[in-house]
Each structure stands twice: as C-alpha cells, then as structure tokens.
Amino acid sequence: MERRKFITTVGFGVVAASIPTKILGAKTMTTFEDFITKGNEFVFPQLAYSYDSLEPYIDKMTMEIHYDRHHRGYFTKFMNDVEGSDLKDKSFSEIFAGVSKLSAGVKNNGGGFYNHTLFWNNMSPEKSKPSKELLKEIESSFGSFEKFKETFSNAAATRFGSGWAWLVMTADKKLAVGSTPNQENPLMDVSSFQGAPLLTLDVWEHAYYLKYQNKRADYIEAFWNVVNWDEVNRRFER
C-alpha cells in the first residue's frame, strides 16, 4: 500500500460544515448512535482509506463499486425514507429497536447504511491487534483466538444467500458470534440474533464476486488480513 493514500483520520472524512461537532467529531461509526439529528444536513461520507489500499485482499474495483454505488444507494434511499419523519430525531439503536413497526425501506436502507458503515470502519490497510482485554474475553468465550476466527468464519460461510456475520456483545455482557440475513442487524427487533456489534463482515455476493467469484471462503479468509482491530477494541471498550 502507498502510505500517502491512506487518510489518517479514522472513520469519516465528513466535509459539510453544517454538520454539528458531535457528528464531525465522531471518530468511528458506532458513535453515530446520534447520527440522525433534527435539522441537519447530511453528506455522503468519504471512505477513510483509498479503494485500492485493501489490495490484494479486497480489490479496488469491488471497493469502488461497493462503496460508491451500493453504500451510496443505501445512504441516499435512507435519507429519503426518513425525510420529514420523526425518525430524524432518533438514534439508530432506537430506530432498529422498533423497526418491525416501520417501513421495509427504513429497515433495508437504514440497515444497509448502518451495516456497511460499521464494515468500512472495521477494516483498515493498517495492521492492528486485539487489545489484551478483548483477547482475554475472546479466549474465555471461544476457547482461543483461532477458535473464535473459526466460529466467525463459519457463521459467514454458512449464512445462506445474502447477509452479514457478526461478533457482538450481548445484553448480559458476553461475546457472541452469529449472522443475519439481507440488511438485518443484531440491533433490530426482528433479528433472532441480538447484541451490540463489535465486528461485521458483508457476505453479499457484491462484496466479493469480482475477485473471488463463488469462493466465499477465500474472501472470508482474506478478510482477517484487513480487520481494523483498533476499531473493534474501541467498540469493545464502549
């Protein structure tokens, strides 16, 4: 990777001056629990690293299409879905906790935007490691770090069709691994897998098909090379 291409700000390169400091100051996406705030203008955020910087694990063209078309599409549609509604006053946690009573658009586009944002932020071209505290928790929950990787990879590999694999902190403060279909996530009341997201992997075909075709397992294996553990550590501490 070319160092110069890596924008050192973690998280979003948000540019609009009209965005309040609590959003501008957001270092990571999990702090966007209060992202939807009344009366503010939202801009589509820039990726914190260049499209080619996750090569050879995730290729430039996949990143470009995935970020600039898929992700942007979810963002734009979600902004339209919440336009003029009281959802703009609510956090993502609140929206997702009652998503079964909302439109399919809010669930699909809001989920799409939120899930992808976590995903971009839990990847990085920079090498990092789980913190001592997280590692200890992983070892006590899964037996070993390798066992955890195996469990997570298996959740990602066996998710039928499109969806996401997750490492979460459950309500009773335990680590758990699972998966969700389509754009559902573990914060949604409709999800059978519940918890606060720490790490996620997109296993929709658009996330890997250009480079890996039907070899989802190879994509999952490659993913471990670009996990942003600094970000996972931060989410864990919170």
In the complex, residue closest to Mn ion by CB: 202
Site residues (CB under 5 A) for Mn ion, limited to 128-187: none
Stretch that binds Mn ion, among 49-57, 74-82, 196-204, 212-220 (CB under 5 A): 196-204
Sequence-distant (6+) residues with CB within 8 A of 211 are 58, 59, 62, 219
Which is nearer to Mn ion, 65 or 135 (by Cβ)? 65
Stretch that binds Mn ion, among 153-161, 193-201, 205-213, 227-235 (CB under 5 A): 205-213
CB of 8 to Mn ion, least distance (A): 25
Write the single-letter amino acid at 179: S
CB of 116 to Mn ion, least distance (A): 6
Stretch that binds Mn ion, among 30-38, 145-153, 191-199, 204-212 (CB under 5 A): 204-212
CB of 204 to Mn ion, least distance (A): 5
Which is nearer to Mn ion, 188 or 207 (by Cβ)? 207
Q: How does 36-65 read in b/e, with b if 16+ C-beta sit within 10 Å? A: bbeeeebebbebbbbbbbbbebbbeebbee
Which is nearer to Mn ion, 114 or 204 (by Cβ)? 204
Task: Tell which one of 78, 92, 204, 229 touches Mn ion (CB under 5 A).
Answer: 204
Alpha-carbon distances, residue 34 vs 8, 10, 23, 91, 143 (angstroms):
24, 18, 8, 5, 35
Region of residue 161 (left: phi > 0; alpha: psi -120 to 50; beta: else): left
Which is nearer to Mn ion, 120 or 236 (by Cβ)? 120
Write the single-letter amino acid at 181: P
Q: Does 96 interact with Mn ion (rule: CB under 5 A)?
A: no
Which is nearer to Mn ion, 142 or 166 (by Cβ)? 166
The dihedral built from the CA positions of residue 60, 65, 70 and 72, taken in this order, carries a sign that is positive
Task: Tell which one of 81, 137, 202, 231 touches Mn ion (CB under 5 A).
Answer: 202
Give the H/E segment covering residue 145.
helix 145-158
Stretch that binds Mn ion, among 76-84, 151-159, 199-207, 219-227 (CB under 5 A): 199-207
Helix locations, 32-144, DSSP H: 60-65, 72-82, 92-97, 104-105, 111-121, 132-142
Residues that bind Mn ion (CB under 5 A): 202, 204, 207
